[in-house]
Each structure stands twice: as C-alpha cells, then as structure tokens.
Amino acid sequence: MTCGGFRVRYRDDERIFDTHLPMAGLMCLLCILGAIPFYASTYWLDVLNRIGIAIIGAIGLNILIGFTGQISIGHAAFLAVGAYTTAVLEARLGLPFYLAIPAAALVTASFGLLFGLPSLRLKGLYLAIATLAAHFITTYVIIHWEGMTGGVLGLQVPAPMLFGLALDSDARIFYVIFACVFPAAFFAKNLFRTKVGRAFIAIRDREVAAQVIGVSLFTHKLLAFSISSFYAGIAGGLMAHHSRILFSDAFTLLVAIDYLAMIIIGGMGSILGSIFGAIFMTLLPEILKLAATSLSGVYPQSFGLIASSRDVIFGLAIITFLIFEPAGLARIWSRVHTYWRLWPYAY
C-alpha cells in the first residue's frame, strides 16, 4: 500500500519503480512468460509471438509520434526494410541471427534517417503525406528488386541457430522475441528520463520553444526517426524469423495504420500504452475469429460476416477512443489503478 509518497530527492522522483510492488510484479510476469511455452498451444504461442513483435514496433512508433510529435505513416516500410535486411543477410550472406538482426536494425535506422530528412522542412500533415509517399516508394522497390528480395515469389528465411540449436519452433522463437521485448521497453522507459528524451518531448510540445531553449531540432528530429526505425528494424527482423518466408504484401499501408491504431488506442506518449495497444490490436482479430467459429454452429452464415466485421470494429475502436478517451488504454489503466490504490477512501 502506498499512500502519499514522500520523495525528498529528485532521484526518488525519477525512479522507474517507485515501490517494490511493481518490481515484484514484473518478476512474476517474467516467470510466467518463461513457463508459457511449456504449456501454451502452438496457436496461442503464435499469437503471443505476434504480440511481442507488435510491442517492439509500437514502442518505436510511439517514440516518434507520441513523444516527439513527428507523424509517420511509413512504419510498415521500416518493418519491411528490417525484415528484408535480416532475411538477405542470413539467407544470402550466412550471418547468424544475433548479428543479422542488430545489423538490420542499424540499416533500418539509417533508412529512418533518410525518411526523417523531410521532417526538417515539413510539419504535421505535410510530413504525414511525405511518409505516405515514402511508404509506396519503398514497397515498390521491394517488389521490383527481385534479384535481392525475391519479389512476389517471397524470400525464405533460414531458422536461426543458437549454440547449434535450431530455433525453428514457435516455442523457441518465443524466447528470442521476448528477450528483445523487455530491453526494448526498458530502454524506451529510460530514454525519457534522459536529456535526449526530454528534448524529444520539448519538440513535441512546441518546436519553436524547444529551439529557443537550446534543443537542436536537426539532431533530435533525426535521432527520433532513427531510434524509432531501429525499433522497427528489430521488430521486422523478428517478424522475418517468425513468419519464415517473407512476402511484400505483409507490409501494406494497412499494417502502418494498424501500428498507428495501436498507439492511439494504447495511449500516445506512453510506453505502457504501446504495450496495451499492441496486445489489444493483435488480440482483436483473434477474438473475432473465435467468436465466429463458436457462433458458426448456431448461425452457419455468421462466419463470413463476423470475419469481415474486423474492419468495422477496428475503425469504430479508433473513432471511439479518439472521441471519448484520447489518452487511450494507458489512461484507463491509470484511473483504475488510482481508484483501487485509494479504495475505499477515494476523495
């Protein structure tokens, strides 16, 4: 029970875990996650893996949009660059995955730097449109550079090897993915306690003011783009290993919109929100699918209807959150949290 925190030093105020309870909770979570592959079915492992990948991607996008205020509709292109670079490095150059994924992330980061260049001149919706164009140009190159990417035929990704053990099942790749999720989340959480992270937030809140107090817009905007795309690169690399074969239509504009929806629904400018959003957006179609299969016994014609209702529910979710809870799931979480912390003496 924490009731009234007496923080007398700035260090206390800035701590990630202000009490031991969340730390203990995190440890429990780690233990549960470590045990999951032994109990969960392949289907749910697959879902969990996709959630893990989505979390990394969503945190990356939230750093760029939620914390720095630079709108990007090109996140799918970043994922694609990460995924294809990983695949090419492993399949054609024979690099092991623990080198290929970071290398791909670095390539994606420099690609993000290129994407970010227009942000130095453009703001708001112009930047959004520029990144939209960049998305189409990138996917065009991926489809038509057949010698490198396999074009529409797809590109096979070899199973990652670690100490002579092939990580070729969902259960094994699960550990790789979640070994990336936790550092990614902590790095992001910590980033916004540092000078660079604070500078990002200053840019989001007002560019002119940020420049006046000595934040270099040039450095920090490009840095935000490259950190964000570094995350996307890692997510893409993991995606390549998770799906085992890469097709360019896994990276359509709809994927970029999905990621945008994750951070809107989860909560802009919140790491926890990105995680909630990623979980929500990945589970939504699965729950619909389950509902469709369970109802198809009663109403046989409902299957197609529920399956195609995904777009409608997805759109309605975005609209509802934007109108009624713009700060997203993270805000709901913190409200519930506060309520129960003070219960029954809420005042």
Partner 1 sequence: MIDHLVFVLQLLITGIAVGSVYALMSLGFVLIFKASSVVNFGPGELVLFGAYVSWATILQMHLPLYIAFPLTLVTSIALGLIIERGVLRPLIGESIISVIMVTFGFASVIRGVLNMVWGSDTRPFPALFSSEPFHLGPVPVSPVHLWSFVIALLLLGTFSLFFKYSLTGMAMRATADNQQVALSLGISVKGIFALSWGIATVVSTLGGIILASVRGGVDFSLADLGLKVFPVVILGGLDSVMGAIVGGVLIGVLENLSGGYLDPVFGGGVKEVAPFVILVLILMVRPYGLFGKVGIERV
Give me the residues that bind partner 1 (CB under 8 A), please: 65, 71, 73, 118, 121-126, 128-130, 132-134, 136-137, 140, 143-144, 146, 207-208, 211, 217, 253, 257, 260-261, 264, 268, 304-305, 308-319, 322-323, 326
Least Å distance, CB 154 to partner 1, is 17
Q: Which is nearer to partner 1, 1 or 125 (CB)?
A: 125
Distances (CA, A) of 7 to 4, 24, 347: 9, 21, 22
Least Å distance, CB 265 to partner 1, is 10
Least Å distance, CB 133 to partner 1, is 4
Q: Which is nearer to partner 1, 49 or 274 (CB)?
A: 274
Q: Which is nearer to partner 1, 298 or 323 (CB)?
A: 323
DSSP lists the bridge partners of residue 161 as: 166
Q: Give the distance from CA 188 to its chain's centroid.
A: 11
Least Å distance, CB 123 to partner 1, is 8
Identity at 337, one-letter amino acid code:
H
Least Å distance, CB 315 to partner 1, is 3
Least Å distance, CB 216 to partner 1, is 11
Q: Which is nearer to partner 1, 286 or 325 (CB)?
A: 325
On whether the CB atoms of residues 288 and 234 are closer than 8 A, the answer is: no
Q: Which is nearer to partner 1, 47 or 77 (CB)?
A: 77
Q: Which is nearer to partner 1, 14 or 205 (CB)?
A: 205
Q: Which is nearer to partner 1, 144 or 337 (CB)?
A: 144
Least Å distance, CB 184 to partner 1, is 22
Least Å distance, CB 313 to partner 1, is 8
Q: Which is nearer to partner 1, 30 or 117 (CB)?
A: 117
Cβ burial, residue 19 (10 Å; 0-12/13-18/19+): exposed
Q: Which is nearer to partner 1, 85 or 138 (CB)?
A: 138
Least Å distance, CB 114 to partner 1, is 11
